[in-house]
Amino acid sequence: MSSAVTTFSRLVRFPVAALLMGFLLAGCGVNNIPSYEEGAKAKWSDVLNQYQRRADLIPNLVETVKGFAKQEREVLEAVVAARSRATSLQLPADIVTNPEAFKRFQEAQNQLSGSLGRLIATAEAYPELKSNQNFLALQSQLEGTENRIAVARRDYIEAVRLYNTELRTYPGKIWASILYGENKPMETFTIADDTKKLPQVKF
């Protein structure tokens, strides 16, 4: 009888010990790296979604401006070309840990921002365009999208900061060397781009 009790007691101890070990490891931050990584990836997806939203607004904006300012051909063509470059850029799966690919993406979006800003500024010379209902609706949507882009980039930058910090500091650095050796620091937007003045769409 005592032998059976002893055996049962040992069997019970193993799951309890495993459970306690799981809580101990969780408390030591073993899950922080994958958790922060997934958080940063989610924020990156939001950045891409907002940039795509902006790209989707541009064709209608260009057509509306063209209807009132056909002579601004050079500005219109620059926007169309910049949008084409930004949307046709092939993004590799590892873009957030690939400095060169991330830089190309950032530069393409910057060029589009600059061209779009010049297009919006052009509307100042056309009072009829500025009062057109379609243009006003697009202007409002574009302004909202630019704000969403700024928020999405800010959230992504913060998520990457948490993730990169975990990889480089203790105890995260220990877990990275033991369990997450393939994890690399993520790229983030440069200070110059982050503080870059967004296209102004208010009139």
pTM for the predicted model, two decimal places: 0.81
pLDDT in tens, 83-142: 999 999 999 999 999 999 999 999 999 999 999 999 999 888 999 998 999 999 999 999
Alpha helices, DSSP H, located in the chain: 2-27, 32-68, 73-88, 99-122, 127-130, 133-168, 172-178, 191-194
Mean pLDDT of the chain: 86
- C-alpha dihedral sign at 46, 47, 51, 57: positive
